[in-house]
Chains A and B, each alone.
Chain A
Amino acid sequence: MANARRLEVVFWLCTLLPFVLTPNYLSLASQIAITALFALSLDLILGYAGIVSLGHAAFFGVGAYVAGLIAKHYWTEPISGLLIAGVLTGLLGYALSHIVVRFRHLALIMLTMGFGLLIAEAANSAHDLTGGADGLQGFRVPGVLGFKFDMFGRTAYAYSLGLLFFCFLICRRIIRSPFGLALRGIRENATRMPAIGAPSLSHLRKAYTMAAVVAGLAGAALTQTTSTVSLETLSFGRSADVLVILILGGAGRLYGGLIGAIVYMVARDQFSGINPQYWYFWIGLLLVAVVMFLPNGILGGFSKFLKPKN
């Protein structure tokens, strides 16, 4: 236990290294932190509660658009924008949760995908509000708490990392609370839960709402650090990407999404020279390989390696 604690401290200290070691890559680091936060959100429902979602980008994108619209039409102070984006995506998540949690298997996959597509299509159609396919532009968030968003992305990374760390602490607490145990119970055996008096659907609704809030925060942070919102934030591609990232890192482990985001984003950056079309070949191969040979992701593989069966 003490060892695990030490490892966690080392991990978070390492997240500060980009400031010193790779100051030219701070924008990338910021994107990684945001993606990690998005993956963490998916982990809450998929890794812990066992709800498969192929439309999680809906919340990410809505958060991104809300933050963008606030910055464009009202004010540019980011933290309040972040909070409003979180609350609104939470409300959306809560509304959808009443439907989503009642389904399983193909219907669940289709429904989450359907809601994702529906919201993306709505954003596309509402051209006047969202800018449609051109995306939402023409605003700039100057800074946060008196620090300017500089061109090197120093403030942006600090902001994203701070948000990630804060949300991570909360998610960690959620996972290690009685509620977190109940979620694991649902994942482990949904039939047994009602027989021990557990209101599974209400638990799932709550988890889904929480995940929506976190995803909305991630989307909002992306908007504020890049000063633009594109339809891509709502796309099926983004839903699939975050799923890949989480599975790659290891679902149902707090650090799975974080490790997955680092590996995925750094690899994509390194191979950015090749056409993104080809990049997806390797992602596809990786997906097949991870499911077939490394069922618990990178972290699962590591822990197996570190703790040989006694």
Chain B
Amino acid sequence: MFSSAVGVLFDGFAYGMLLFLLSVGLSVTLGMMNFVNLAHCTFAAVGGYCTVTVVNRLGWPFLAALPIAFVAGALLSVVLERLLFRRLYRASDLDQCLVTIGIAFMSIATFAWFYTTEPQSARPPAYLLGSVELMGRSFGIYRLFLTAVGLAITALLVYSLEYTRFGARVRAAVDNQRMARGLGIDVDRAFLFTFALGGGLAGLGGALAIEVIGLESTLPLSVILVYVLIVVAVGGLGSIRGSLVAAIVLGITDTAGKYYFPWLGAFLIYLVMVALLMWRPLGLFGKR
């Protein structure tokens, strides 16, 4: 049992990185505009399907597909934000939920139309598959790759949010929208950029997730959405650090649960989520 712990920790950490990519955009946009976007996983699905198309039909290399997945997720989120979401920032949570669920429904049907309801796959190149031996243990290369990408993006995000002008604007807008407007910050634009970034990261996450969790047309309203919402709710709205910690904890807990208590299914995760929400409704790192 102990020898398996390292493997579980490693796999869980990589899974957590994936969850972080999928959810960080939602956390920031939710914190910024208080907008409950249940269609967030649609961006991930779009990234995933783009990758499938680019790799399988056009024969491009997997790594080249990743930026395309990012752009596709970003583009879709910008279009939706401009067309629909911005009219709903002042609407009730119920209306926000309904519209975004509606969009998720529509996207599921659209994916099923173009790609059938069968699971899709896009094989990463051979050098990302298999495993390496390290100190007598074997580690999946793809998961190492996931971890590396996740850490690199976290570093980039933290740097751009903490040390750049753009980041300062975004943080100001998250903290106090009215004050930020008063200071002459173009909150709408900051928000559009954030939305694009969040959608793009979800798209990238969707592309990277194909190898780990598969890709089906129901992804936008699947258990992954629940996991994403857990990360956001537990991590606290608008907190990148909170999202990161929550994603890693969730990834490890989920992996460990599936390994050690497979009969519990997702029960354990839901139980933890409900308990955490009751204890800290604003999340572990939530403000206010």
- Within 8 Å by CB, do A and B touch in the complex? yes
Interface residues of A (CB under 8 A from B): 46, 52, 54, 99, 103, 105-111, 113-115, 117-118, 121-122, 124-125, 236, 240, 243-244, 247, 275, 277-281, 283-288, 290-292, 295
Determine if A46 and B94 form an interchain contact, defined as CB atoms under 8 angstroms apart. yes
Interface residues of B in 57-113 (CB under 8 A from A): 84, 87-88, 91, 93-95, 97-99, 101-110, 112-113
Shortest Cβ gap from B231 to chain A (Å): 11
11 inter-chain pairs at a CB distance below 8 angstroms, sorted by A residue, are: A99-B278, A103-B277, A106-B233, A124-B265, A277-B112, A278-B112, A281-B109, A285-B106, A288-B99, A288-B102, A291-B99
Chain B residues whose C-beta falls within 8 Å of the C-beta of A243 in the assembled complex: 98, 101
Q: Which one of B98, B105, B107, B277 lies within 8 Å of A110 (CB-CB)?
A: B277
Knowing A107-B277, A107-B282 are in contact, say whether A114-B112 is a contact too (CB < 8 A).
no
Chain B residues whose C-beta falls within 8 Å of the C-beta of A52 in the assembled complex: 93-94, 97
What would 10 more interface pairs be, CB under 8 Å, given A46-B94, A280-B109? A103-B281, A106-B93, A106-B233, A114-B274, A114-B277, A115-B274, A124-B265, A275-B112, A281-B109, A284-B108
Chain A residues whose C-beta falls within 8 Å of the C-beta of B98 in the assembled complex: 243-244, 247, 287, 290-291
Main secondary structure of the interface of A (DSSP, over half): helix
Complex alpha-carbon distance, A92 and B226, angstroms: 23
Q: How large is the interface on B (under 10, 10 to 19, 20 to 34, 35 or more residues)?
A: 35 or more
Determine if B101 and A240 form an interchain contact, defined as CB atoms under 8 angstroms apart. yes
Determine if B267 and A122 form an interchain contact, defined as CB atoms under 8 angstroms apart. yes
Shortest Cβ gap from A297 to chain B (Å): 11
Q: Which one of A110, A236, A284 lies within 8 Å of B109 (CB-CB)?
A: A284
Complex alpha-carbon distance, A118 and B266, angstroms: 8
Interface residues of B in 220-237 (CB under 8 A from A): 221, 226, 229-230, 232-233, 237
Chain B window 256-288, contacts with chain A (Cβ cutoff 8 Å), 1 for yes, 0 for no: 000000011111001101100110011000000
